[in-house]
Copies of this chain bind each other. A is one copy, B any other.
């Protein structure tokens, strides 16, 4: 039996235990945006640390200034390629909780899916690489590549401390390629290799009028209404057709290549089903662009939260003292997040009436990335998927953002292989997040193959 066959045999024998471990991982409510989650974040990081230590890796909690990152390394062997595996153990908030069909931190199996917050984003997907490493170590005694795991706890809040932390330990994170599983397949049984991500600028603005909530009968007509101001500013940001109206927003955008546009059209889209699954009579979007372009190659501006005044049951006749909105803009190659954040801020500030004040905040800020599709690591990724899933991957972009990936590409000059094992309808960032156990296991197998394929591939 060759080495890879022994690895495959090991995976078959230990699959059930891997699931149990995965469920334990899911039970820890590691919501990084919750200031009260300290205990859970700590437990989650220590749980991972133990898994790595059991495997014989040199592992530690790396202080970041925020929630800690876990770093775990195999011994560095010379003449062997080094892969940095990046993932995150933190998860999105769970609200609205009442829309979950079972408690978000009690994994529930139904029809081959495991339902829990973090199932796919990113506990399930990042854990595949841990288990692939285990299989190589236990079944063959070592790994075909050197591995460094970097699992952070702040991805869902925009990785505010990760880059400075990596910069501080740059020598330690030296690698030939980065492996990330935080994207998804194109569809069920349609594995994909992703070579581009959109960036993001996430902003919030809060308008203040009078110094307290006022009775709308006694003061209606003579005081400014911050909620009305918020509505006006948001309305002016986008034409009714969906074109973003912030001056300069679209400047410098790099359009997709011709081969991409062609490839997009050949992908097995089912747009009618996509709309139907979302309960929509039709998809929306910017005029003049195809759905794939709108989803992957065009920047967006979306209101993620609206707040102000009374939002409970029934009626309360109040003119709110404050109202605000959270707005995220997805960015594409050629757009600088700093510049976009600054254009946004100016746009808002110019529209605040004299009687009101405004506070504008930036929460996340990361550029889009494009990875060369002919890099040896990308080719190894293609081969690994073919082995793990039994079919060639589709070459895709992704509309979402993974803040640290642009750092790996732009600053560390590393190819980043985005092996996405989840499904687009796994409800990430939404109630009833899930992950198929089949894809969990195929992910582990793919990861194991990637290590061998990348070790062998010539530059």
Contacts and interface: CB of A to CB of B under 8 A. Distances in A.
Interface of A: 33-35, 92-93, 95-96, 99, 157-158, 184, 198, 200, 202, 204, 209-225, 227-228, 230-232, 234-236, 238, 240, 278-286, 291, 294-295, 298, 300, 302-320, 323, 325-326, 328, 330, 353-355, 363-364, 398-401, 424, 427-431
A295 to B, nearest CB: 5
A298 to B, nearest CB: 6
B212 A430 contact: yes
Contacts of A231: 230-232, 234-235, 303, 306, 325
A203 to B, nearest CB: 9
Contacts of A319: 302, 304
Pick the most buried of A35, A211, A311, A364: most chain B CB atoms within 10 A of its CB.
Answer: A311
B303 A225 contact: yes
Contact of A303 (B211, B227, B284, B313): B227
B302 A228 contact: yes
A279 B322 CA distance: 13
A295 B215 contact: no
A292 to B, nearest CB: 9
Given A99-B212, A221-B399, A330-B220, A313 B228 contact: no
A240 B227 CA distance: 13
The 9 closest A-B pairs by CB, nearest first: A217-B400, A211-B279, A235-B235, A231-B234, A227-B303, A307-B311, A220-B300, A305-B309, A221-B294
Nearest to A231: B234
A225 B281 CA distance: 14
A403 to B, nearest CB: 11
16 contacts: A33-B312, A33-B313, A33-B316, A99-B213, A217-B401, A218-B398, A218-B400, A220-B295, A222-B291, A223-B278, A227-B325, A232-B234, A283-B355, A303-B323, A304-B317, A304-B318
A46 to B, nearest CB: 24
B217 A330 contact: yes
Nearest to A215: B429
A316 B429 contact: yes
A326 B314 CA distance: 9
Nearest to A300: B220
Given A300-B220, A303-B225, A430 B215 contact: yes
B315 A309 contact: no
A240 B212 CA distance: 22
A315 B325 CA distance: 11
A305 B311 contact: yes
Contacts of A311: 305-307, 326
Nearest to A228: B303
Contact of A95 (B96, B306, B312): B312
Nearest to A322: B96
Given A231-B303, A238-B228, A306-B227, A202 B315 contact: yes
Contacts of A240: 232, 353
B304 A306 contact: no
Contact of A222 (B211, B221, B295): B295
A399 B33 contact: no
Contacts of A284: 222-224, 353, 355
Nearest to A236: B235
A240 B221 CA distance: 13
Nearest to A362: B315
A236 to B, nearest CB: 7
Contacts of A310: 93, 95, 304-305, 326
A284 B317 CA distance: 18
A49 to B, nearest CB: 25
A320 B295 contact: no
A139 to B, nearest CB: 36
